[in-house]
């Protein structure tokens, strides 16, 4: 990049916070998706709203592609720079929790705040921020909003979308746009927050976010149900939902996951089982929680659970729940390449989806471990492979196609929470239609006339 231009970025963010040497830029060329990396031309780390706005304006004015990056944990290639001319805007210094309002139950944050740091800060005020992606100890709230992240508590408490009250973002001119408010209700103007949610860095750059907080539940009960047949586990999921019980957590791990997760975490998981369900019910009244837990245990038994282990305290639950959060890193140790998918189906179709994934694994002779937020119908079939083995990777690609086709045939969706990014953009029309793609393109053109915000992601 032209030296004078680099100097202009340095004038905005400071010399230490503009990376132009290749060795420093390399770390920003990839994310958690299995895709070809792209080293950007420059990495800029603004620390204030003013610096952020000026960075966006300068990059756009000079027609430089812009990729905003939080922690880079997304699994869809959403922060792989578009080209060698790209500027990566890193939000790690925009990490202030500006306000936690105990009276009106909201918080105002900058986009680079780490999700679990925020949840912890909120809990010291006696409040609760439920969205808890498996990556919460590193992911940022900006990344969570831009991908509408879910988590283990999504079934009962919803996902990031359910907590977004307002957002401020910079448009391509570097002008600050404000939408939403600190009030529970707000219908002023268009719902631009809704537009920014899941926007994957393609429409603007968030500078401040207002999030809803809730009181924490007063009682909870967690358990692990063990199965000798994964179909019985997935039938339990459908049965619990059909019985109108909404646990806060309802997660599944299959045999392959159990093997790798136990080897990695030593949490005491039953590796001889074909699958387990991790279930937690919560609420404000212990009696009601106990009743729900009893009903859930009955349903587990009825559907064929061979054992049900109730966590005796928070520590015991935490150990198992942490093991679940480590499913992806545990699987990633098995083979050089881990292709994690995000196919999501209506809850009643979970048994059909689980059976289809197992059939697809056999058909293509691949090792696929499945875990995920079963209660949301959101499964993560994870293919363990080696990308360097061209023949094997062809089979992987065919299997992924078939997983998506199956999910769509079951009235599901390409992505429950990981986003479209580069990885799934080519399938978008399959789930929607041509008119939807054109409508989205027109919208994007209006908000990003030079097509510089995260080009190549979401809509091709
Ligand atoms: C081990 C592991 C477990 C995971 N578990 C879950 C899970 O349970 N649930 C789930 O939903 N996801 C999960 N993920 C995926 C990922 O962690 C989430 O999508 C998370 O929200 C990404 O946050 P991030 O800060 O890493 O964002 P990044 O990966 O840096 O960016 C994600 C997107 O957000 C955009 N973005 C970031 N900041 C801004 C901003 N200020 N303005 C505009 N756009 C912005 C980026 O351009 C990009 O499009 C997991 C990932 C891993 C590796």
Can you give the residue ranges of every domain in the chain? 3-90, 97-212, 219-409
Reported confidence tier of residue 460, pLDDT bands at 50, 70, 90: confident
Q: Is 131 in the pocket of ligand 1 (CB under 6 A)?
A: no
Closest by CA to 72, choosing from 43, 41, 109, is 43
Atom of ligand 1 nearest to the CA of 204: 43
CA distance 366 to 381: 11
**Considering the chain, what percentage of its residues have pLDDT values greater than 70?**
100
The tens digit of pLDDT for each residue in 346-384 reads 988 998 999 999 999 999 999 999 999 999 999 999 999
Residue 167 has pLDDT above 90, yes or no: yes
Q: Is 418 in the pocket of ligand 1 (CB under 6 A)?
A: yes
CATH number of 3-90: 3.30.43.10
CA dihedral over 289, 291, 292, 296, signed as positive or negative:
positive
The owner of tokens 């390399």 is: 26
Q: By three-state DSSP, how is residue 44 classified?
A: strand
> Would you tell me how many other CB atoms lie within 10 Å of the CB of residue 86?
26
The tens digit of pLDDT for each residue in 21-42 reads 999 999 999 999 989 999 999 9
Tokens matching residue 91: 């939000």
E-strand spans in 112-248? Answer: 164-170, 176-180, 205-212, 219-227
The tens digit of pLDDT for each residue in 42-87 reads 999 999 999 999 999 999 999 999 999 999 999 999 999 999 999 9
Mutational test site, ligand 1, from 33, 46, 146, 169, max ligand atoms within 8 Å of CB: 146
Residue nearest to atom 34 of ligand 1 (CA): 143
Q: Is 236 in the pocket of ligand 1 (CB under 6 A)?
A: no
Q: Is 151 in the pocket of ligand 1 (CB under 6 A)?
A: yes
**Do 219-409 and 97-212 fall under one CATH topology?**
no
Q: Find out whether 9 and 42 touch, Cβ atoms under 8 Å.
A: yes
Per-residue model confidence (pLDDT) at position 343:
85
Q: Find out whether 327 and 134 touch, Cβ atoms under 8 Å.
A: yes
CA of 28 to the centre of ligand 1 (A): 14
The tens digit of pLDDT for each residue in 83-123 reads 999 999 999 999 999 999 999 999 999 999 999 999 999 99
CA distance 157 to 415: 19
* pLDDT, mean of residues 175-189: 95
The CATH number fitting domain 97-212, selected from 3.30.465.10, 3.40.50.720, 3.30.830.10, 2.60.40.180: 3.30.465.10
Closest by CA to 320, choosing from 257, 377, 266, is 266
CA 8 to chain centre: 34
* pLDDT, mean of residues 316-340: 92
Atom of ligand 1 nearest to the CA of 416: 11
pTM: 0.95
* pLDDT, mean of residues 172-190: 95
Closest by CA to 201, choosing from 94, 340, 87, 62, is 87
CA of 362 to the centre of ligand 1 (A): 31
The fourth-level CATH superfamily of domain 219-409 is FAD-linked oxidases, C-terminal domain (3.40.462.10)
* pLDDT, mean of residues 286-301: 96
Average pLDDT, the chain: 95
Per-residue model confidence (pLDDT) at position 302:
97
The tens digit of pLDDT for each residue in 414-431 reads 999 999 999 999 889 999
* pLDDT, mean of residues 187-208: 96
Atom of ligand 1 nearest to the CA of 205: 42
């Amino acid at each position: 990049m032209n030296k004078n231009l680099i100097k202009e970025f340095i004038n905005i963010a400071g010399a230490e916070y503009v990376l132009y040497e290749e060795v420093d830029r390399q770390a920003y060329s990839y994310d958690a998706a299995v895709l070809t990396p792209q080293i950007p031309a420059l990495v800029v780390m603004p620390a204030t709203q003013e610096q952020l706005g000026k960075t966006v304006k300068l990059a756009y004015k000079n027609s430089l592609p812009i990729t905003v990056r939080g922690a880079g944990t997304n699994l869809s290639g959403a922060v792989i720079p578009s080209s060698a001319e790209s500027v990566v805007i890193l939000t790690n210094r925009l990490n202030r929790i500006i306000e936690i309002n105990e009276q009106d139950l909201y918080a105002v944050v900058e986009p680079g705040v780490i999700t679990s740091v925020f949840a912890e800060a909120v809990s010291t005020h006696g409040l609760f921020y439920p969205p808890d992606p498996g990556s919460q100890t590193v992911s940022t709230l900006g990344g969570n909003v831009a991908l509408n992240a879910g988590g283990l508590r999504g079934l009962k408490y919803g996902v990031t979308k359910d907590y977004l009250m307002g957002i401020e973002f910079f448009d391509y001119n570097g002008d600050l746009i404000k939408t939403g408010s600190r009030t529970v209700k707000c219908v002023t103007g268009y719902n631009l927050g809704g537009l920014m949610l899941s926007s994957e860095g393609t429409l603007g750059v968030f500078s401040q976010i207002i999030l809803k907080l809730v009181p924490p539940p007063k009682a909870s009960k967690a358990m692990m149900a063990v199965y000798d047949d994964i179909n019985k586990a997935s039938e339990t999921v459908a049965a619990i939902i059909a019985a109108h019980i909404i646990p806060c957590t309802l997660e599944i791990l299959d045999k392959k996951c159990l093997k790798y997760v136990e080897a990695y975490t030593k949490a005491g998981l039953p590796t001889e089982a074909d699958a387990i369900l991790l279930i937690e019910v919560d609420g404000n009244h212990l009696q009601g929680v106990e009743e729900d837990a009893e009903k859930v245990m009955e349903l587990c038994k009825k559907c064929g659970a061979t054992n049900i282990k109730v966590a005796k305290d928070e520590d015991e639950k935490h150990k198992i729940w942490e093991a679940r959060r480590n499913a992806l890193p545990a699987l990633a140790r098995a083979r050089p390449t881990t292709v994690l998918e995000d196919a999501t189906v209506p809850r009643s179709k979970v048994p059909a989806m689980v059976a289809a994934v197992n059939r697809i694994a056999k058909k293509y002779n691949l090792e696929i471990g499945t875990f995920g937020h079963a209660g949301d119908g959101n499964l993560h079939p994870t293919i363990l492979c080696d990308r360097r083995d061209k023949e094997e990777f062809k089979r992987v690609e065919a299997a992924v196609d078939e997983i998506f086709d199956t999910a769509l045939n079951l009235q599901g969706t390409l992505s429950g929470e990981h986003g479209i990014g580069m990885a799934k953009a080519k399938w978008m029309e399959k789930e929607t239609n041509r008119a939807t793609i054109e409508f989205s393109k027109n919208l994007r053109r209006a908000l990003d006339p030079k097509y510089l915000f995260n080009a190549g992601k979401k809509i091709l």
